[in-house]
């Protein structure tokens, strides 16, 4: 099996491990790829809906991996036992839903050696929540698929809650440190999105609203970080 773009990004950032668990597995392509490529010995492929689980079972059987990859139906981290898996992947869902899954399964998330998080939106919300709840984002990578840039984070619970400059909730600090080749394009896209929001609020006579002023401040912080990055 070949993966590309977003799915390959998730597989690449997943560390070698004994048991990986893919929450919201749908097609189960991620655990299939990880087990086939011997990055993980075994996998649990979980989903809240039975339909995706039937699809996952079919795909796993087609690749002859039913002995190594087991499926379970359930909400968020409910289908796994405490400390049953080394690595938990939560990918392809919105940031708000990922945050809810982590809040509900907090004790299990704390015990994972690594969490791989790949949100489709509200990335700033999930980064802030992770930092404020004692998780460290120790790696982050980007990949481009068609016109869209995706991010994936490797996260670990340290118990040390912290807050960061707000711009780092929008653009991951590790992306600056790693000098990710897609970072300039990501920042330019993000600044254009924020400019559009600021402009729309101005059109709606919302010139001095807190939300508009906050958005301007964040856009300016991101621009400043980008200038410093380019100079370094």
Ligand X SMILES: C[S@@+](CC[C@H](N)C(=O)[O-])C[C@H]1O[C@@H](n2cnc3c(N)ncnc32)[C@H](O)[C@@H]1O
Contact residues toward ligand X (CB under 6 A) are: 23-26, 47-49, 52, 75-76, 91-93, 97, 101
Return d(Cα 197, Cα 193) in angstroms, integer: 6
**Pairing status of strand 17-23 against strand 87-93:** parallel
Nearest partner of 57 among 76, 72, 42, judged by Cα:
72
Residue with smaller CB distance to ligand X, 126 or 198: 126
Q: Which is nearer to ligand X, 72 or 164 (CB)?
A: 72
CB of 98 to ligand X, least distance (A): 9
DSSP result, 114-180: EEEEEESS-HHHHHHHHHHTTEEEEEEEEEEETTEEEEEEEEEE-S------THHHHS-HHHHHTT-
For residues 1 and 161, which CB has a smaller minimum distance to ligand X in the complex? Answer: 1
For 40, the token pair is 């993980």
Q: Which residues contact 209 (CB under 8 A, 6 or more apart)?
A: 201
Least distance to ligand X from the beta carbon of 185, Å? 22
Question: In this complex, which beta carbon is closest to ligand X, that of residue 143 or of residue 222?
Answer: 143
Q: Which is nearer to ligand X, 79 or 198 (CB)?
A: 79
Residue in the block written with tokens 């909400």: 75
Minimum Å distance from CB 97 to ligand X?
6
Q: Are residues 109 and 102 in contact, defined by beta-carbon separation less than 8 angstroms?
A: yes
Instruction: Write down the least CB distance from residue 80 to ligand X, Å.
Output: 11
Closest approach of ligand X to the CB of residue 52, in Å: 4
């Amino acid at each position: 099996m070949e993966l590309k773009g977003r799915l390959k990004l998730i597989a690449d950032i997943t560390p070698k491990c004994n048991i990986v668990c893919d929450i919201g597995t749908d097609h189960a392509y991620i655990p299939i790829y990880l087990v086939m490529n011997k990055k993980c010995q075994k996998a649990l492929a979980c989903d809240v809906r039975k339909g995706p689980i039937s699809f996952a079972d079919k795909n796993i059987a087609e690749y002859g991996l039913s002995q190594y990859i087991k499926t379970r139906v359930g909400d968020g981290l409910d289908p796994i036992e405490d400390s049953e898996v080394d690595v938990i992947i939560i990918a392809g869902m919105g940031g708000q839903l990922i945050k809810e899954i982590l809040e509900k399964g907090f004790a299990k998330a704390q015990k994972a050696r690594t969490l791989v998080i790949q949100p489709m939106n509200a990335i700033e919300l999930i980064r802030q929540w992770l930092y404020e709840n004692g998780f460290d984002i120790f790696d982050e990578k980007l990949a481009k698929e068609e016109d869209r840039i995706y991010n994936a984070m490797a996260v670990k619970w340290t118990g040390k809650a912290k807050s960061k400059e707000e711009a780092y909730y929008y653009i991951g600090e590790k992306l600056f440190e790693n000098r990710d080749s897609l970072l300039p394009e990501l920042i330019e896209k993000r600044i254009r999105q924020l400019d559009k929001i600021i402009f729309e609020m101005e059109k709606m006579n919302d010139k001095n609203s807190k939300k508009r002023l906050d958005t301007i401040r964040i856009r300016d912080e991101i621009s400043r970080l980008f200038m410093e990055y380019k100079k370094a």
